[in-house]
Amino acid sequence: MGNSMPIENISTQLTTLTDLEITAVKGLTCLPEGMLNNNNSLTYLDVHRCDELTCIALDVSDTVPLLEELSIDGCLSLESIRITQGIASLRQLMIYGCEGLSSLEFGLDYCTSLQKLEISCCPNLMSIPTTQGMPSLRKLMIEECEGLSSLGSGISFCTSLQELEIKGCDNLTSIPITQGMPSLRSLKICYCEELSRLGSGISFCTSLQELEIKGCDNLTSIPITQGITSLRSLNISFNQRLLNLPSGLQFCTSLQELGIGPLWEEDRFRSSSDYQQRKRRRLISLWTPNMAMEPENLIGLEALPEWLGNLTSLEALSIYYCENLKYLPTINAMKNLTKLKQLDIRGCPLLKERCTKETGPEWPKISHIPDLRF
C-alpha cells in the first residue's frame, strides 16, 4: 500500500475488505487504533517491510471477528505486539524477520482456533507466553530466535500439535514436554546450543514418527525410556555431550531409519584444545540396561549391541565416525533385520576393514543388504 491514502482512513473509506496488505509504508510507527473498524469481513492481514513500525497494539477481537491469518514480516524496528485478548478466529500467525521484537503480548491462550504458529529470525524475543496451551495448534515452528529462553509451560497442553520444530535458539535450556502429546508426529530440535534437558513426556508421545536432535551441545540424554512404538525415523548427530542413545530405543520396534553421529563438526571449533576435546567424543555409544559402564568407557565401545536385531522394521542404518567400532551384532541378530535395505558406515576404519567383501569376518553379517556404503 502506498501513501496516496492515509492509513487512518481505511476504516471509513474501505469497509468491505477481506484481505489487507500494508507494505513499506514510510513514517508508519504504529498501527492506529480503530484502523480496522468497519471491516468485519477481513480474514487476512499482512504487515510487511514497515521499517519504522515500533508497535502493533490492536483491539481486534470485536473489530475483525473473522480474521484468520496474520503475517508480520521484515519490520526491523518492531519492539512489541500487544493483542492481549487474542483473536478467537485466527488460524495462522507468522512473524518473520522482526529483529527488534522483544515482547509478544498476544493472548495466545485465547487463540482457540490457531492451527499454525511460526516465528523466525526474531533474535531479541525472550519468551512464548502461553500457560494454558492452544488446543487447535497443529504446527509450531520457532527458528533463529537466539534470545529465546522459555517456550512457556502451555506447550505440553497443545494436545492437537502434530509438528514441533525448534532451530537456532541458542539460549533455550529446556523443552517443557512434561506430559505426552498424543498427536505429535514430528519433533525436530536443531542447533540449540544451551539446551540441556528434554521433557520426560517425550516417551509418552504415542504418535511420534520422526525425531531429529542435532547440534545441541549441552544435551546429555534423551529421555526415551519405554520406547515409542510409532517411531519410524531417528536422527541424532553433532551433540557434543551426548554419550549414549536412549535406553528405550530397543523397544522402538517400528523404527525404519536410524542415523547415529557424528557428534562433532570440525569447522565449528577454532582452538586446537577444543578440537581435540570434541574429537574424542565422536562416538555415540549404543547403551543397554545391562551395560554397567561409565561414560568414559562407552566412548571406546567396539561392538554394537545385540538388541539392534530387535528393530525388525529397520530399513536404513547410518553410523558415522566411530573410530573404535569393530563389530556388528551377531549374525543371527543381523539376519533378523530382514527389511534392512541400506547400511551406511562412514569414518569407521576398523569396521570397514572387517566388512571387506567375501574376506572380512563381518561380511557374512551384511552380505544380504543390497545397498552398502562405506
- The grid coordinates of residue 347 equal 569414518
Q: Quick one: DSSP state of residue 85?
A: T
- The grid coordinates of residue 335 equal 539376519
pLDDT, residue 6, reads 66
pTM for this structure? Answer: 0.81
Q: How big is the chain by its Cα radius of gyration, in Å?
A: 25
Domains of the chain: 1-172 (3.80.10.10), 201-374 (3.80.10)
Q: Report the C-alpha gap between 194 and 372 in whole angstroms.
A: 36
User: Residues 312, 313, 315, 321: is their CA dihedral positive or negative?
Assistant: negative
- Is 190:166 a contact under the CB 8 Å cutoff? yes
Q: Which residues are within 8 A (CB) of 70 and not within 5 positions of it... i.e. 6 or more apart?
A: 45, 46, 87, 90, 92, 93, 94
108: left (phi over 0), alpha (psi -120 to 50) or beta: alpha
- The grid coordinates of residue 217 equal 551441545
Closest CA to 58 of 82, 39, 42: 82
Sequential pLDDT tens for the chain (374 residues): 444 456 766 767 778 889 999 999 888 888 876 777 778 889 999 999 999 999 888 776 667 788 999 999 999 999 989 887 888 899 999 999 999 999 888 888 889 999 999 999 999 999 888 888 889 999 999 999 999 988 877 888 899 999 999 999 999 999 988 887 899 999 999 999 999 988 888 988 999 999 999 999 899 888 888 889 999 999 888 887 887 778 888 889 899 998 876 654 443 333 333 433 333 333 333 333 333 333 334 345 688 888 889 899 999 998 877 778 899 999 999 999 999 999 998 888 999 999 999 899 999 999 999 999 98
- The grid coordinates of residue 244 equal 549414549
Q: Report the C-alpha gap between 46 and 243 in whole angstroms.
A: 46
